[in-house]
Structure formats: structure tokens, C-alpha cells
Amino acid sequence: MADIQDYISGKIIHDANLALKSLKFLRIPYLGSHIRKKLSARANDFEAKIISQESASEVIINADRCAIGERMCRNSNKNEILTESVYLNKLADGLVSTSRARYVSKEEAIDLFGKYKKYPIILSKVSGNYIEMCNSYPKRCVYWNLEKHGIKCLTK
């Protein structure tokens, strides 16, 4: 299972990078199918869903605390387009404690989706709860890239 601790320690940033780099090996016989299985299992841990702006707002309204920070997969390449994520509850606490996010009001968190309108919102499960919502950047997003390579990991 994806864990809040992975976000606090930064392991998630390393994992995202590694997942993207691994994609170029998918066509290699045997090794490719092994990597495909691993990537699929890891990605499906997050039970990621594409959601509307309205659904995202509803999740925020029902949360206790919200924070905003840049999407995790941008941490290793600051030249990429900036999109940000909303982190909730304990994930918000963890990322604020490492300065990767800042607490915001629910109104500010909801307004963020208007700022990044053209980027699809992905809701992910971390430590068993849906507490990460990302304005995903498909060119770099692990989920979108896996889907592009035939690894199903996003639902609607």
C-alpha cells in the first residue's frame, strides 16, 4: 500500500522517477513482463481515479485539513510545468512538516482546480484513504504514462 511515510521521506519522488525510467525496458522479453507486473501492482495500490472538479470540491469539503504543494513527480525536475496537488488530513500534516506543502483554507484548495483547469484531476489513495488530489501533468504523470503503455491504472 502507498503510505504517508513514503511522502514524508521523499521515497514517492524516487519511486515516480524510477517508474518512468522503467518504461523503456517494457519491450525487452521476460524482463519487460516482470517490470510490467511490478509497475501495475504498485500503481494499482493507489486506486487512482479521474474525477471532476465538482467531485474534488466535495472531497475537500468533507476533509478536516487541506494543504497545497507542487505535484510529487515535479520535485526531481523543477524545469517542468508547475501544477499543484491538494493533500488532505494526515498527508497534509506530513507534507507541511517537511515544507513540501502549506496549509490552506478549503476555499483556497477548491480554487486551485480553477487555476489548473486544463489538467485532469486524479484522486489517489494513500495509507488507505483518498487524501491526494493532483492536477496531473499527463506528459510526466506516472499514471498517464503507464496507461499509454497499456498498463491500466486509472478509473473514472
Question: Which residues of the chain form contacts with ligand SF4 (CB under 6 A)?
Answer: 16, 71-73, 122, 134, 136-137, 141-143
Give the nearer residue to ligand SF4 in terms of CB position, either 93 or 147. 147
CB of 30 to ligand SF4, least distance (A): 27
Consecutive H or E run containing 60: helix 53-61
Closer to ligand SF4 at the Cβ: 26 or 29? Answer: 26
| Positive or negative torsion for Cα 84, 90, 93, 98 | negative
**Residues facing 87 on adjacent strands:** 67, 132
On the 0-12 / 13-18 / 19+ scale of CB atoms within 10 A, 50 is: middle
Least separation, in Å, of the C-beta of 140 and ligand SF4?
A: 6
Identify which of residues 14 and 28 has a Cβ nearer to ligand SF4 in the complex.
14
Residue 28 C-beta: closest distance to ligand SF4, Å? 24
β-partners of residue 67 are 87, 103
CB 63 → ligand SF4: shortest distance, Å?
A: 18
Q: Which is nearer to ligand SF4, 30 or 156 (CB)?
A: 156
CA–CA separation, 52 vs 131, rounded Å? 15
By beta-carbon proximity to ligand SF4, the closer residue of 11 and 28 is: 11
Rounded Cα gap, residues 38 and 23, in angstroms: 11
Of 151, 131, 126, the residue nearest 20 (C-alpha):
151
Min separation Cβ 138 and ligand SF4, Å: 8
Alpha-carbon distance of 149 to 60, in angstroms, equals 32
